[in-house]
Amino acid sequence: MEREQRTDRLDGDEVRVCTGNSEVLPKTEIQEGKGGNYLAVPAPFTMPTNLPAKVRPRPRVLIVGAGFGGLSAARKLGKHEVDVLVLDRRNYHGFWPLIYEVATSGLEPESIAYPVRAILHKYRCVSFHMAEVCAIDFERKLVLTDTTPVSYDYLILAAGSTNNYFGNDILAANTFSLKDIDDAESLRNHVLTSFEYAVRENNPMHRSRMLTFVIVGGGPTGVELAGAFAELIRHVLHKDYPMLDVTEARVLLVEAAPSLLGTFSPSLQYHAQRQLEKMGVEVRLNTAVAAVDDGIVTFKDGTQIASKTVVWAAGVRAAHLAEVLGLKLERGFRIPVEPTLTLPGRPEVLVIGDMAHLRRGKSSQPYPMVATVAIQQGKCAAHNIMAQMRFKPMKPFRYFDKGKMATIGRRAAVVDAFGVHLSGFVAWVVWLFIHLMSLVGFRNRMVVLINWAYNYLTYDRGVRLITGKHHGSDWFMREVQRTLLVHQAQAGGAEKRPQ
């Protein structure tokens, strides 16, 4: 977007005003970047306050993270008289609830992601930079990135979450995760490559290890992934590999708690488990993983299972950025915030979504790490920033709980919302509709709808591609890399970190 620029002279100091993305700095503190952007150098800088209204800069709100929370805040702020800059290390917004479909060949990666610039271009005062935030200088109101430092008047931290391995680096090195598109593609490539290798493997023990898929964590992600893998194997891969006895392939869903889907009603938990078992998934409850090493999963009760594919869906923690900010952290590395979502003692900094730790009412539990919380907190943060600018009181965050849902497979899902418990076909239709409507972009909705219809009618999946130039050597290199990582972690001793 073209930014209108003008130069004004005030009290002898030249200032440059870029309207639409206002950056007003004394001339000495401006330098022109490669792309013609004005970069704030990390020097102490105070915003002039006694300027006439027509040249007074508009406050700049900086949003870190273009996920569910960050985008929701940006959209709301985009309707007001502020300049908003969104930073994200990726140039796309990912719709993570459907990422398991990418891992199981159901959807193309592009259909669950959308370019952030395309989402934001209709808001004149909102811009986007692709940059990874490395640190924040709260005193100087400066965000340090892998490219340029950026100044702010108000800051929203919405960098989301990452996997929690509870300080066990070996688990991180030896398991697959499902947190972004790269993870999903890597898992899909690995599973399909396992079948390619298994088909020419004569040793039944090695073949069984290649065809055993263990998913750790019986929450919605684990349940959805287990169901989708079972269907991929039963409906699709058995046709692709007629020379292979696909009944040799096993999908195990392992959960440390006594039930799957811990936050759902007991009847839905039972239904989900029965449904998965009918689809051939082996569900192991009260089973915690102690170690994953060299293709062997060891459980805390001492039993073991051989598997080349272990997916970690058992723990989530705030994004790594939370750890480097020098703030006191709560369980899961989440940042404690006031009910207004502001940092204690720093009302200009707000933290939302998976990063934020805010107790739910009088409960000792924080709000769950789900998209609906992040979206609603994004709106609340935007409201509270505008309230501060207008010298009005901020409002505490109130969550409107829209319920929860998980799909298990074809014509099977569970929905727990407003005291109503649905399962089976009706729940599945509700799940399909809500996920379709929540996707960003008309094109993506159409592509997903067509894919789902195709998959449903043909029992087929179109995206069974093993991508990457030398996937055979990739497989080998990954094995070597993993072994090295394990040895390094063992040699250094896994660092003990808080949960």
Ligand X SMILES: Cc1cc2nc3c(=O)[nH]c(=O)nc-3n(C[C@H](O)[C@H](O)[C@H](O)COP(=O)(O)OP(=O)(O)OC[C@H]3O[C@@H](n4cnc5c(N)ncnc54)[C@H](O)[C@@H]3O)c2cc1C
Report the interface residues with ligand X, using CB under 6 A: 64-70, 87-90, 96-97, 99, 132-133, 158-160, 178-179, 220-221, 319, 321, 353-355, 369-372, 374
Residue from 23, 108, 224, 330 carrying the catalytic annotation: 224
Would strands 212-216 and 309-312 be described as parallel, antiparallel, or unpaired?
parallel
Q: Where are the beta strands (DSSP E) in 302-432?
A: 304-306, 309-312, 316-318, 335-336, 342-343, 346-351, 356-357, 404-409, 412-417, 420-423
> Is the CB of 95 or the CB of 475 nearer to ligand X?
95
Q: Is the dihedral of CA 378, 383, 388, 390 positive or negative?
A: positive
Sequential DSSP letters for 140-180: TTEEEESS--EE-SEEEE---EEE--TT-HHHHHHSB--SS
> Is the CB of 320 or the CB of 487 nearer to ligand X?
320
Q: CA–CA separation, 45 vs 492, rounded Å?
A: 43
Task: Kindly state the smallest distance separating residue 161's Cβ from ligand X, in Å.
Answer: 6
Q: Would you report the helix, strand and coil content of the chain in percent, each value rounded to 5?
A: 35, 25, 40
Q: CA–CA separation, 132 vs 57, rounded Å?
A: 26
> Is the CB of 262 or the CB of 472 nearer to ligand X?
262
> Is the CB of 57 or the CB of 149 nearer to ligand X?
149
Task: Kindly state the smallest distance separating residue 316's Cβ from ligand X, in Å.
Answer: 7
Task: Kindly state the smallest distance separating residue 163's Cβ from ligand X, in Å.
Answer: 9
> Is the CB of 334 or the CB of 461 nearer to ligand X?
334
Q: Which of 235, 279, 245, 309 is nearest to 461 (CA)?
A: 235
Say how far residue 154 (Cα) sits from the centre of its chain: 24
> Is the CB of 76 or the CB of 209 nearer to ligand X?
76
Residue 255 annotated in active site: no
Residue entry with tokens 């891969």:
237
Q: CA–CA separation, 129 vs 113, rounded Å?
A: 17
Task: Kindly state the smallest distance separating residue 151's Cβ from ligand X, in Å.
Answer: 16
Give the angle 398-89-163 at the CA atoms, nearest 5°.
65
Report the DSSP beta bridge partners of residue 366.
359
Task: Kindly state the smallest distance separating residue 441's Cβ from ligand X, in Å.
Answer: 16
Distances (CA, A) of 327 to 228, 289, 322, 334, 349: 40, 31, 8, 10, 12
Q: Which residue is nearest to ligand X (CB)?
A: 67
Task: Kindly state the smallest distance separating residue 356's Cβ from ligand X, in Å.
Answer: 8
Give the catalytic positions in this structure: 224
